[in-house]
Amino acid sequence: MNAPISRRETQRRQAELFSFHSVAAAPALIGWTLTVDGVGGRIVETEAYDHEDPASHSFSGPTPRNAVMFGEAGHVYVYRSYGIHWCMNLVCAGHASAVLIRALEPTEGLDVMIARRGLDEPRALCSGPGRLCQALGVTREHNGMRIDQPPFALEPGPAAEVIVGPRIGITRAAEVPWRFGERGSRYLSKPFPRV
DNA sequence: CTATTGATGTTCT
DNA sequence: GAACATCAATAGA
């Protein structure tokens, strides 16, 4: 069925992806497979952020925390959320734009994810930005790393049907429809409004 | 199913 | 001090 994707094809697709602004890259990422040390799954939910966006960490200019967002596309921006969780973004082209990875459909390394999360229900393993970072073992150490080199791997998948809605958990620019998900996925962090 | 609240560390005002 | 791109546990409809 699905022929293996060549290294060369993956590089070509990544180069195209990271030439996009976050608002274009976020929906395009739905259906790609993301792993860390071989543990991960299919991306089913993302959100876009950028420099002109009051909800973005990069809105008020560069700081030590958000420095990676102002750097090269294709790098990983990790930050601490609510003092407890980690959240990961992929930096995109344009000015300080990035895509928050919000949910995965777990496909690889289920046993490792179950051990790290202390749960055995696949639905709850990676359905949220903090949850998936715990399942994949992503922490501050990964901030600034390249997504195309170990321990990370990012490979394109078959095109998915993408739905759109307002972003979650923010107070500023809360109405901007920059949240994207795979229609019908059981692994979303929350359902999308009015399907 | 929805709503509420406590836990927690960093950043920003 | 206040705010925060969250989660898990709890209570109620």
**Half-sphere exposure (Cβ direction) of A84: Cα atoms closer than 13 Å:** 4
Asked if residue A193 belongs to a domain, the reply is no
pTM exceeds 0.85 for this model: yes
Predicted confidence band at A194 (pLDDT cuts at 50, 70, 90)? Answer: confident
Q: What is the DSSP string of chain A?
A: --PPPPHHHHHHHHHHHTTSBHHHHHHHTTT-EEEETTEEEEEEEEEEE-TT-TTSTTTT---TTTGGGGS-TTBEEEEEETTTEEEEEEEEBTTTEEEEEEEEEEEE-HHHHHHHHT---HHHHSSSHHHHHHHHT--GGGTT-BTTSTTEEEE--S---EEEE--SS-STTTT---EEEETT-TT-SSPPS--
- Residues 6+ away with beta carbon under 8 Å from A137: A36, A37, A39, A116
Tens of pLDDT along A59-73?
A: 999 999 999 999 999
Number of domains into which chain A is organized? 1
Q: Is the pLDDT of residue A2 over 90?
A: no
pLDDT at A3 over 80: no
User: Which range of residues forms the domain containing residue A160?
Assistant: 7-182
* Domain CATH for A143: 3.10.300.10
Residue A1 maps to a domain: no
If we measure between CA atoms, which residue out of A113, A153, A157, A166 comes closest to residue A136? A113
Calculate the angstrom distance between C1' of B10 and CA of A25: 28
| Closest nucleotide relative to residue A133's CA, C1' based | C6
Residue A83: predicted pLDDT: 96
Q: Do the domain assignments include residue A188?
A: no
**pLDDT band for position A4 (50/70/90)?**
confident
C1' nearest to CA of A85: which nucleotide?
C6
Q: Is residue A13 part of a domain?
A: yes
Q: A61 CA to C3 C1', in Å? A: 18
In a domain? residue A174: yes
Average pLDDT over residues A138-150: 97
Cis-peptide into A151, omega within 30 deg? yes
Average pLDDT, whole number, for chain A?
95
